[in-house]
Amino acid sequence: MLVGTIIEKRNASSAGTVGDLPLIDISGIRSADNRRLREIADEIGNAAREIGFFRIIGHGIDLDLVERTYQQAQQFFALPEAFKRRYYIGLSTNHRGYVPFTEKGDYPDEVNRSYEAFDLGVDLPHDDPDYLAGNRLLGPNVWPGVVGFKQTVSAYYAQISALGRIISTALELHLGLPPGSMTDQMSKPISQLRLLHYVRRNAEVDTKSVNMGAHTDYECLTLLHTRNAGLQVMTAEDEWIDVPVDRHVYVVNIGDMMEAWTNGLLRSTPHRVLNQSPERFSMPYFVAANHGTVISPFPELVGRGEKPKYAPFRAGDHLERMLIRDFPYLRNQVQKGSTEGNQNVENPFEKRMNGSSN
């Protein structure tokens, strides 16, 4: 099922509607029925080309587990600040743990920012060689001393990361790439799960004000579950449309690594979060490649006689550069550790970030 792939051109003052985002039933994506698999892969691929944002049902993620993961997040965020700070991300050397409300990055439109987060990734052992070598994105998770947190969130991580791989495989099929072209580069990925908790400040009355500023995601794909309204996506016509909330649905979007890998065929689309809900929970999972993977447009996707549209970069370098821009703690760590620190990090994927606010 593919609903509403045609995006109408509207005048700049009209708000978008639900119908603008494709809703794709991916049940059958795990089946051995090749014809059905190709159909699903093409629906996903077409949506990824046209808008870079779509919604999926029939994804097979256990919705009770989703609910229990939210409950763990809610329980953790409700704890006293001093307790949460014991797990402060700045105490970790591999970008894991609690991100307080005060950890503010560089987005110019985030005047009404007010959210906290908990970041985790592949839970590697303490003797992992990349971790021991000082890799800033790989290593063990930080687990708060909250009953059931590690068990529940790990179980969720296992399911959502498996789904990320399956969707990546479908995209390989859609793009006509040899199987494994992308997924073989996801054997020890720098993928991350974020538990997010937005709180509209008491003084904030403008529910259209921006909480999380407009950005594109840095990785390959994002699989997002959310409980509350507020997420908006920018269409190709530079208009913001609301992403509807439905507990059965995942929102999927293309990120920068995938845009570059596919030579711009799939679009990494700007999005933002408004202060629409007084309190808001969401859980984006960012599917990434391995730290050392060189992202360079696949030759199959570069037209004959044409030059690739993107210069090669290492996945880990791009993510680190962007996180340094977003996290003051990381800027401090990097500056202390070496001469790499750069206050004026530019995002090569920056686009249309200051579009119309409708």
Ligand X SMILES: O=C(O)CCC(=O)C(=O)O
189 touches, from ligand X, Fe ion, none (C-beta below 5 to 8 Å by class): none
In the range 270-309, which residues lie near ligand X by CB under 6 A? 271, 273, 282, 284
Q: Quick one: 217 or 256, whose CB is closer to Fe ion?
A: 217
Nearer to Fe ion, 135 or 253 (CB): 253
Binding to ligand X by residue 258, rule CB under 6 A? no
> How many other C-beta atoms lie within 10 A of the C-beta of residue 151?
12
Residue 248: CB minimum distance to ligand X, A: 16
Q: Which of 214, 221, 204 is nearest to 239 (CA)?
A: 214
CB of 212 to ligand X, least distance (A): 6
Minimal distance, residue 220 CB to ligand X, in Å:
13
- Provide the token pair at 149: 């947190």
CB burial readout 306-336, b (16+ within 10 A) else e: eebebeebebbebbbbbbbbbbebbbebbee
Q: Is position 89 an interface residue for ligand X (rule: CB under 6 A)?
A: no
Burial status of residue 266 (CB atoms within 10 A of its CB: 0-12, 13-18, 19 or more):
buried
Q: Pattern of binders to ligand X over 226-255, x per CB under 6 A?
A: x----x------------------------
Give the side-chain half-sphere CA count within 13 A for 151.
Answer: 4
Among 217, 219, 239, 326, binds Fe ion (CB under 5 A): 217
> Which residue lies nearer to Fe ion by CB, 119 or 217?
217
β-strands 53-57, 23-25: how paired? parallel
Buried residues in 225-257 as b, exposed as e (16+ CB within 10 A): bbbebbbbbbbebebbbbbbbeeebbbbbbbbb
Among 170, 196, 221, 330, binds ligand X (CB under 6 A): 196
Task: Please tell me the distance from the alpha carbon of residue 109 to that of residue 131, in angstroms, as a whole number.
Answer: 35
Choices 56-64, 224-232, 312-320, 337-345 (CB under 6 A): range interacting with ligand X: 224-232
Quick one: which segment of 43-51, 123-131, 171-179, 223-231 binds ligand X (CB under 6 A)?
Answer: 223-231
Within residues 146-185, the interface with ligand X by CB under 6 A covers: none
Identify which of residues 169 and 235 has a Cβ nearer to ligand X in the complex. 235
Choose among Fe ion, ligand X, none what residue 287 binds, the Cβ cut-off being 5 to 8 Å by kind.
none
Report the residue from 120, 170, 224, 288 that binds ligand X according to the rule CB under 6 A.
224
Name the closest residue to ligand X (Cβ).
Answer: 282
Q: Which residues bind ligand X (CB under 6 A)?
A: 194, 196, 212, 217, 224, 226, 231, 271, 273, 282, 284
